[in-house]
Amino acid sequence: MGSFGRPPMTPRRARARRQTLRFRKLIHAPLRFVYRWCTDFREDDDAITNSIYHYSARIVLRERSRLVRIIIVPGPDRNRNTDVEIITLVPPDRWRLRKLSVSDDETGSYRLTRKGSTLTRLDMRFHRTWKTGRAPATARYRALFERVWDRYVSAIEKEYRDQRAS
């Protein structure tokens, strides 16, 4: 036993590193539309980002307030990582993510704010705990995340414009 009756830190626990990141996006569509779009998880969602993440998803549970999906992410040397995502829906303007994987765990919170009749702000906050190896540079993670969400925002706005035009 370590000090204060706690077990000694293992090398694995000693290497864990936590990152906290915040992002904000303005979306030219009403809050209600944005919420429905963002929480309509599908197995082909990776197509929206043009495979930036290169994952495949399988939804294993879909309930009114919760969704569970399995994410398969290709890894080095043809290995694959399997992540489990638990998404909790809090209508009309929030949802939460809990991701569990071998390399890292992540919690995310998403909140929408109406900024006008057709303008919505999306605030996102993520806590990632890296359990193995070194955490990627925050700047690299931020750049990748911004690319992905720029594509999501573009898709949301296009779908909203198309719906209004029809």
pLDDT at 70: 94
Output 132 or 146, whichever has higher pLDDT. 146
CB 112 within 8 A of CB 34: yes
Q: Report the percent of the chain where pLDDT is more than 90.
A: 60
* pLDDT, tens digit (0-9, with 9 covering 90-100), for 41-77: 988 877 887 656 677 889 999 999 999 999 887 776 6
Among 130, 145, 16, residue whose Cα is nearest residue 81: 130
Average pLDDT, the chain: 87
pLDDT at 15 over 70: no
Confidence of residue 154 (pLDDT cuts 50, 70, 90): very high
Domains of the chain, each with CATH number or no CATH: 18-165 (3.30.530.20)
- Torsions phi, psi of 155, nearest 5? -65, -40
Instruction: Mark out the alpha helices in the chain (DSSP H runs).
Output: 11-15, 31-38, 138-165
Residue 26: the pLDDT is 98
3-state secondary structure 52-97: CCCCEEEEEEECCCEEEEEEEEECHHHCEEEEEEEEEEECCCEEEE
pLDDT in tens, 67-117: 999 988 777 666 667 899 999 999 999 999 999 998 889 999 999 999 999
Mean pLDDT for 126-134 is 86
Q: What percent of the chain has pLDDT over 70?
A: 84
* R_g (Cα) of the chain, nearest Å: 18
Burial class (CB in 10 A: 0-12, 13-18, 19+), 29: buried
